[in-house]
Structure 1
């Protein structure tokens, strides 16, 4: 399902290099980023993340790892 908060393909192309790590996940990185953007833009609680996205615990862990590494600041700078 598509949400208004989902990245457009051209936006993903600009930022995807920040998520090219050797970390293998059964979830696509773009799906994880879209889930984080959904949380940020909608203001919903992590546990209320729609089932169309990966599990909220996976998304939250991904968000935290990226936050610790400073990835979100770089991504926002590139998108804005």
Structure 2
């Protein structure tokens, strides 16, 4: 597990050591992408599909950093979207399947 360095500047804003952010590798993504919705293009109109890989990266950032969803960095999808997907995937057992496939601690 990577160690994250979070600093608070004089204005009270948090900054994260960007080198410590772990993202899914292409190999890991290939193993698990079939489990996640939104990996296929939508055929209907409406809201665009959310990038499931980016949401999963955000979930792992939260798990690895121990931070609250409120402090999710802005380069990830919106915090509420990521949190909603986290709850849904956790409830449906998708995260457990992903952890098993990637041999991460659940």
The bucket for the TM-score relative to the shorter chain is: 0.7 to 0.9
How much is the aligned-residue C-alpha RMSD, in angstroms? 2.2
Residue in 1 aligned with 2:27?
Answer: 10
Q: How many residues align?
A: 80
Residue in 2 aligned with 1:28?
Answer: 51
Query: Equivalent residues in 2 for 1:21-60 (5 A)?
Result: 25-60=48-83
TM-score scaled by structure 2? Answer: 0.67
More helix by share: 1
Residue 25 (structure 1) shift: 4.7
* Uncovered stretches (5+) of structure 2, i.e. residues with no partner: 1-17
Deviates more, 1:18-27 or 1:6-15: 18-27
More strand by share: 2
Larger Rg: 2
Residue 54 (structure 1) shift: 0.8
The structure, 1 or 2, with the larger RCO (C-alpha pairs under 8 Å, 6+ apart) is: 1
Separation of aligned partners in 1, 2:70 and 2:64: 15
SS of equivalent residue, structure 1 residue 53: coil
Residue 36 (structure 1) shift: 0.5
